[in-house]
Amino acid sequence: MLTMTYEYKLQPTPEQIDIIEQTLDVCRSVWNFSLRQRKDWCASRKSPVNACSLNCEYIISADAPFPNYHRQAKELTDAKKQYPQLKTVHSQVLQQTLRTLDRAWDDMRARGFGFPRFKNKYRLRSFVFPQLGKDPIRNDALKLPKLGWVKWRLSRPIPEGFQVKQARVVRKASGYFVALSLQLDVDVPSPLTPLSKGGMKGGIGHPRGLDLGFEKFVATSDGEEIKRPRFLKTLQRKVELLQRS
C-alpha cells in the first residue's frame, strides 16, 4: 500500500466557513473535556490516604475505571442527548478527535512526553473526516460530510489509480485548506535486510553508517576514518614546479 498526502486550498462560502468554525469549536470542547476527565482520574489517585491535598481536586471513586477511548466514545454518544451542539458535527470527526487524544496519551506514557495540552482556538486548527462518500471529487469542488460541495483550487491532479481515504480540513492564516490522504493498492517492496552470520539469501551484507566532516572526510560506524583529500595543495605544488621550469 502506497500512501501520499496532497494539500489544496479551499474556497468555502460564508455558510460553509461558519460550519467549519463550529466544527473546530465542538472538537476543541470534546478534546478539553476528555483530557480534563483523564487528568482528574490520575489526580484523584495521587492524594495520600492519610491527608488531603491543598488543591481543590475532583474526587473520583476508586472503583471508577480509567476513561480510555472506548469509554469516552460511548459517553460521547450519550452526551448528544443532553448537548445538541454535538449533533451538528459528524460523529466520525468527534471520534477521530478522541483517537488523536488517545494516541497523545499513549505517547506520554510510552515515550516520556508531557501531558497533552488543552486547546484554545489558536491551538486546534484542524479536524479529520476519516471517510468520504462515493466519488467525492470533481474538477472544481470536493464533497465533504456536513459541508456538501466545497469549491477548491485543484493545483495538481489526483494521480491515476489513487483513492481518497480521508480528508483533514486545516485553518491557516492564509485561508482554509484540505489535506487529502491518497492510497494506491500496490505491493511496495520490503527493504533489504542485512546478512546474518550464516549469510541469509537476499541480504545486503554489513550496513555501515557514514558521517561526513571537515577534519576527516568520512568516519564510519565501524571506526574507520578516511582522510580528507587535499586536491588544492597538491595542485598548488604542481603549479609552483611548473612555474619554476
**Quick one: pLDDT band at residue 21, thresholds 50, 70, 90?**
very high
Residue range 111-120, pLDDT digits in tens: 878 889 999 9
More confident residue, 214 or 29: 29
> What residue type is assigned to position 62 of the chain?
A
Residues 6 or more apart in contact with residue 162 via CB below 8 angstroms: 4, 182, 183, 184
Decide if pLDDT at 218 tops 60: yes
Average pLDDT over residues 34-40: 91
What pLDDT, on the 0 to 100 scale, is given for residue 209? 86
Per-residue pLDDT band for 152 (boundaries 50, 70, 90) equals very high
pLDDT at residue 200, rounded to an integer = 52
Mean pLDDT of the chain: 86
pLDDT tops 80 at residue 191: no
Report the share of the chain in percent with pLDDT over 90.
46
In this prediction, residue 178 carries a pLDDT of: 94
pLDDT at position 166 is: 92
Would the pLDDT of 205 be above 70?
A: no
48-103 tens-digit pLDDT: 666 666 666 667 777 888 899 999 999 999 999 999 999 999 999 999 999 999 99
